[in-house]
Structure 1
C-alpha cells in the first residue's frame, strides 16, 4: 500500500493543486476585475459560482465515461480542456462573457474530483481511505496557501504587454494544466491488474482484498448506477456535502475581499494574509484524516470538524479586527478541510462498482451546487447590507445542517451494517 501511495498520490495531488487553483483564482482576481469590468458583488458572485451549474449537469456523465474509458484518458481530456478555458478567463470583457467562460469551464472540469475519488477506491481498501483522501484533498488548502502569494505577485504584472495583472494571472496559472495532460497519459495506470510496477503477488492480494470488500457491501445492499440518483441516502449525503462546500467556495471567492476591506494592504501582503487560514487547513486536514483512520471512526470526527467550521465563521463574523478575523477564518478552514476527506469515507462504505462511480459523482454534483448558491447568496447579502457580517452568519449555519443530516443518515440500519461489513 505504501508503494501504491507513493506512486499515485504525489502526482494526483499536483493535478488537483492545479485544478483547484484554476477554479478559485478568480476570487483573487476579484477586486481588480470588479473595478475594471464594473461588476457588482452580486454579479461577481453569480459568475464565479455559475461554474458549478455546468459542473452539476456534467458530473455524473463524466464519471460514467471515466469508468468506461479509463482514468488515464478521461482525466487527460478533462485537464486539457479546463486548462484552455481557465486561460480564456483573461479575455472576458464584462458580465456576459465572464458568465459564458465560467459555464464552459465548469463543463470542462466536471468529473475530475469525483473521478479521482472513484479511482482511489479502485486502489485503496476501506481502512486506508480516510488518510488517502485526506492527502489527495490536501491540494485544496495547499493550492490556496501557496497560490495566494504567487497570485499576488502575478497581479503586479499590471501593464506588461498591455495586459492587466489579473489577466496575466489567469494565463500563467492555466499553463500547468495543459502541460500535465501529457503527464497523465504517460504516468497513470487505470487499474491494479495493469500495474507493471507491482509484483504479481501484490496485485493478487490487492484485487482479492478489494473484491472481498465489494462482496461484503453488496451482501448488505446492491445498487445499479441509476438507482443511486434516486436513493434518499445518496441525496442526503449530497446535501451534507453542500453544507461543507458552500462556505468553502464562498471563502475561496470572497476571502481576499473580506481581508482587503479590513485595511490597506498591498497585493503581495494580501496574498500572504489570505494564505494563513489555508495553511492551517492544509496541516489539519492530513492530521485529522490519520486520526480518523486510527480510531476507525467517521461519523463523530466529521461532526466535530463541521462544528469547528461553524464556530470559526461565527468568530470571523463577530470581529472586524485583522487578528481575530484571521483566527476565525483559520478555525473555519480547519473545520471545513478536516471534515471533507473523512466525509467521503461515509458514502463509499456502502457504494461499489459502477454505482460508486455514479453515486460519488451525484453526491459531488449536489454538494457542489453550494459552489453556485453560496457565493451568489453571499454576494447578494453583501450588496444589501454593505458588509460581510450577515453573509458569514449565513455560511455558519450551513455546517449545522450537515451535522443534523449526518445524525439522521447514520441512524439508517443499512448504513451501519454496510459500515461494519466494510471495516
Structure 2
C-alpha cells in the first residue's frame, strides 16, 4: 500500500521536470512528454512481467515438486467443496450489513485519497508555488512523509491488535486537515503542513480498513469474492471524488466547496469505521 505514496513522491518531481525541461523537445509539449515519461516504466515492466511471472503451478520454476503437489491438492480440495457451497456463503456475505458498512467506509477513504492525488498540485499553486517544477518537488514532501507515516501507524495498530480507532482517528484527522486548507490557502508553508497531515492520515485509512476486513472474512471460502465486492463498491469513490470536486469547482470557482465535501465524507467514513466491531475488536 505504500507504493501509492511512494509513486507520488517520485512522480511529482518527474512530472515537474518533464513538463518544464522537455517542453518543445521533438516538437512535443511538456504535457505530452509527461505521458511518455511516466508510461514508459509501466510498459517496460509489462514486458518483463510477461517473461518472468508464471500464471500456473506447472510453469512456476521456483516451486519444488513437493510444493506443486501441495498446491494441486489444495485446489482439488477446494473444487470438491462445490460451487453451491461457495454460492451460499457468498449470498450470506452479501446480505451482511457490515459488508456495506465496510464498502461505505472504503468509498469515503478512496474519495479522500483521490481528492489529494488529483488536486494537490492545484492547492500548492493557489498557495503560491507558481513554477511547475517547484510544485513537483513540493508535492513529493506530503507523499514521502505519508509513506513513512503509513508504516509507523500500521505497526502501532498491529502491536495493539486494534483497527477501528486507528482508522477512525486517522480519518477524522484527515478531515480536519482538509477543512483547514481553505482558511490558510495563501500560506504556502501552512498549506504544505496541512497537505502532509492529510496525506498521512487519509492514505493510512485504507490498509487499516483492509486489515479489519481480512480479520472479518478470515476462514470463509467466500473471502476472495467478498473482499472483491467491498473493493468494487468502494472504488466508485475513484469516479465520484474527481467528478464532484471538478463540478463544484466549476460552479463556485474555487476548490473550497469540494474540500468541505471531502471533509464531510471522511468524517462519515470515520463513523462507519467505529461501527465495525470485528472479531477481537468487538470488546474495544
Q: 2:139 aligns with which of 261, 265, 274?
A: 274
Q: 1:247 maps to which residue?
A: 112
Q: Which residue of 2 aligns with 1:49?
A: none
Alignment equivalent of 2:195, drawn from 325, 329, 339: 329
Deviation at 1:197, TM superposition (A): 6.0
The separation in 2 between residues aligned to 1:305 and 1:392, in whole angstroms, is 17
Greater Rg by CA: 2
Task: Tell me the distance in 1 between the aligned counterparts of 2:179 and 2:126.
Answer: 18
- Give the paired residue count: 265
Contact residue 164 and residue 276 of structure 2 kept, 8 A: no
1:154 aligns with 2:28: no
Match of 2:178 in 1: 313
Task: Confirm or deny that 1:183 pairs with 2:48.
Answer: yes
Identify the match of residue 338 of structure 1 among 192, 199, 204: 204
Structure 2 distance, partners of 1:141, 1:327, is 16
Task: Report 1:27-42 matches (<5 A).
Answer: none
CA contact (8 A) 2:5 2:144 kept: yes
Q: CA deviation at 1:231?
A: 3.5
User: CA shift at 1:190, angstroms?
Assistant: 6.7
2:244 pairs with 1:380: no
Query: Does the 8 Å CA contact 1:243/1:399 hold for their aligned counterparts?
Result: yes
* Closer/same/farther in 2, CA of residues 189 and 288 from structure 1, 3 Å limit: farther
Q: d(CA) in 2 for partners of 1:191 and 1:241?
A: 32
Q: What's the counterpart of residue 416 of structure 1?
A: 279
Q: Distance in 1 between matches of 2:89 and 2:240?
A: 30
What pairs with 1:108-147 in structure 2 (closer than 5 Å)? 137-147=1-11
Aligned match of 1:363 in 221, 227, 230?
230
CA gap of 1:344–1:192, structure 2 versus 1, over 3 A, is farther
Contact 2:181/2:191 (CA < 8 Å) preserved in 1? yes
**What CA distance in whole angstroms lies between the structure 1 residues aligned with 2:99 and 2:23?**
47
So what's the TM-score if we normalise by structure 2? 0.82
TM-aligned CA deviation for residue 229 of structure 1: 4.1
Aligned position for 1:398: 265
Residues 89-238 of structure 1 mapped to structure 2, 5 A cutoff: 137-156=1-20, 157-188=22-53, 196=62, 224-225=89-90, 227-238=92-103
Structure 2, unmatched stretches of 5+, are 78-86
TM-score (norm 1): 0.57
* 8 Å CA contact retained: 1:308, 1:334: no
- State the 1:232 CA deviation: 2.4
Q: Distance in 2 between matches of 1:186 and 1:298?
A: 39
For the residue of structure 1 that corresponds to 2:162, the secondary structure is: coil
Note if 1:350 corresponds to 2:213.
no
Residues 142 and 279, structure 1, Cα contact 8 Å, conserved in 2: yes
Deviation at 1:245, TM superposition (A): 0.8
Using a 3 Å threshold, how does the CA distance of structure 1 residues 146 and 293 change in structure 2: closer, same or farther?
same
Give CA deviations for 1:125-176 in whole Å, capped at 9, x if unaligned.
Answer: xxxxxxxxxxxx1111111111100011111212222221111111221122
